[in-house]
Amino acid sequence: MSASARNKPILPGATIGILGSGQLGRMLAIAARQMGYRVHTLSPESGSPTGQIAEREVVAAYDDLDAVRDFARGVDVVTFEFENVSHTAAEAASEYAPVRPGGNVLHITQNRLREKLFLRDKGFPVTPFAPITNTAELEDALLSVGLPAVLKTAGFGYDGKGQRIVRTPEALREAWTELSGEGTASCILEGFVSFSCEASVVAVRGVDGEVKAFPVVRNDHAHHILDITTAPAPETDVSLALATEARETAQSVLETIDVVGVLCVEYFITADGRLLINELAPRPHNSGHWTIEGTPASQFEQQLRAVCGLPLGEISLRRPAAMANLLGDLWEGGEPDWAAALTLPDVHLHLYGKKEPRPGRKMGHLTALADSAEEAAALARSARSLLAR
């Protein structure tokens, strides 16, 4: 396919191909169907959150390159709902359809070590870190990074999976043995950051290079899983100057990696008022779910517009908002009391269509709108508390 053909706008009526089939793909599929697109999805799962919305659900492994090629033949553009699809699979799909973001973006962001090296080498602010691929490098990392620190697997980690906080040399060696599978996998040791809060910016870049960044949000975690997102981040947590810097940095990251689509930049705000990039996610992100009600064009509509070569949508804040995750723990006492939560004004429920609630599993979220970000966060927490029977 020629470059001019690949950059031609993909208009409603065309078919969007999504690799991955979880809740992010589901909400992207809903946005696509609303705008008149067809949706196909491929993943190893059947009856998936995305598959419930898509017109076609292909059940295949991501490394089944023949299946990926066949999938790409039947769509007009391919995108992702998570980054742990191999670069090889992305390249296979690109033989038959534009792939946005490209496989080069996945290659960098699906591996923590490659991501940190890329960001550091391009001059972006990151935490101190060192690679560990053997016991000799472990001892070197211990000296260069120091303790306490966080040991992480280089690949395939999210929501606190694949990482351990270590405070002693003995704990580091034990964690290395556990996480590396007796030395068979690479890890990265990151310096422990004394931060005042965690924040993120969801931004989007179009085929033509246009970039828009949503307001900076504050993220509060529980047990390493995002719990509450507050939008915009209160100025007491993130000053106007830092918020501007965060959005400008996110734009620079998008341009430097050459992303087409949505990318989330997660930050630590240090105790002395500096920004450090924690992680990147080249896709819609949990901390951007509030945009469905909180902005004219959500992060999912922006992803669709970007990968289809359409003008980007408006990102201005309608009202302050907050998002509260709903984990499977809420089902321990039976079906949550949905009606009770929805008696509160300006509370919106999103469920992901997952059949089995499990502790720690993201089953849905609530979004609350209010006159201030702090009021929205309090309303989201109150609505969630009413769900427990």
For the chain, 389 residues long, give each residue's pLDDT as a single digit of tens. Answer: 455 566 799 999 999 999 999 999 999 999 999 999 999 999 999 999 999 999 999 999 999 999 999 999 999 999 999 888 988 999 999 999 999 999 999 999 999 999 999 999 999 999 999 999 998 999 999 999 999 999 999 876 665 578 899 999 999 999 999 988 756 678 999 999 889 999 999 999 999 999 999 999 999 999 989 999 999 999 999 999 999 999 999 999 999 999 999 999 999 999 999 999 999 999 999 999 999 999 999 999 999 999 999 999 999 999 999 999 999 999 999 999 999 999 999 999 999 999 999 999 999 999 999 999 999 999 999 999 999 97
- Report the C-alpha gap between 248 and 234 in whole angstroms: 18
Distant-in-sequence contacts of 232-238, Cβ < 8 A, 24+ apart: 232/317, 232/320, 232/373, 233/197, 233/199, 233/373, 234/373, 234/374, 237/196, 237/197, 237/199, 237/269, 238/197, 238/199, 238/269
CB crowding 156-181: b at 16 or more within 10 Å, else e: ebeeeebbbebeeeebbbebbeebbe
Domains and CATH numbers, the chain: 3-99 (3.40.50.20), 128-191 (3.30.1490.20), 195-385 (3.30.470.20)
- Report the C-alpha gap between 307 and 100 in whole angstroms: 6
Q: What's the pTM value of the predicted model, to 2 decimals?
A: 0.95
Find, among 360, 212, 379, the residue nearest to 291 by Cα: 212
CB-based burial of residue 349 (10 Å sphere; 0-12 exposed, 13-18 middle, 19+ buried)?
A: middle
Q: Is the peptide bond before 98 cis (omega within 30 degrees of 0)?
A: no
Within 10 A of 348 (CB to CB), how many other CB atoms are there? 18
